[in-house]
Copies of this chain bind each other. A is one copy, B any other.
Amino acid sequence: MATPLEKARKDPESMKARILHIARRFFGEYGYHGTTTRMIAKEAGIDSSTLHYHWGDKKDLYEAVIVDINKDLGQKLIAVEKRIHGLPLDQRMAIAIDAMTDYLFKFPEVSNLVLFHYFSKTRDALDLRVPEFTADIARSMGLTRDRKTTSPRAKIEVLAVMNAIHNFISGEKFFRPIVNLNRKDYISIVKETLKFVLIGSFVEREKKQKSS
């Protein structure tokens, strides 16, 4: 029952996990085609055939990476959901944005890989079913009227918020020189701006809805 990925996640010291971790970073930075198995193997200090021994083909390793980061992301989202449950909307959003931003700045490959997966195609036909969080987040943020279905509008709103966060993490190397700030200041100004831009409209709408 234990898949290779589960094994690797349980024992972070294993070579399997070591390779997976490095693969996350490289695939995140250079994308699927921009990353070679030799790059990963060299960084891990092993031969590329050892990599193949543990994870099979490049495609298989990439799929494992995608599944891996989606598990991490899902766990983090659940943890955040618990923290904000029951609070008023503005606090819910502020805390969620802070927490997710901190987390993603710590593991930027997650944002990198999510965005790569959104925005680019791959020549190799790899079909990976990725868990879909938009509906859950929409529910957690109280954007769904109906308990069961989530409207397209609500999902689009969630995507707008999530992507806004991912962008500043993945785009750091490009954006930070533009604003000319050190990493610490960049992170703090990003968090401020995200909260400023993203929260206002939602809170305002909620006010109007309650008053009517």
Interface residues of A (CB under 8 A from B): 29-34, 112, 115-123, 132, 134, 152-153, 155-157, 159-161, 163-164, 167-168, 170-171, 174-175, 178-181, 185, 189-190, 192-194, 196-202, 204-205
Tell me what chain A mostly uses at the interface: helix, strand, loop, or mixed. helix
In the complex, are the beta carbons of B160 and A163 less than 8 A apart?
no
On whether the beta carbons of B123 and A119 are closer than 8 Å, the reply is no
Interface hub of A29, A115, A185 (most chain B Cβ within 10 A)? A115
Query: Which B residues lie within 8 Å of A121 (CB)?
Result: 29-30, 34
A30 contacts which of B29, B120, B132 (Cβ < 8 Å)? Answer: B120
Q: Are A160 and B197 CB-contacts (below 8 A) given A121-B30, A155-B178, A178-B132?
A: yes
Contacts of A179 in B (CB 8 A): 152, 155-156
Given A156-B175, A163-B163, A175-B159, decide whether A115 and B123 contact each other with a Cβ distance below 8 A.
no
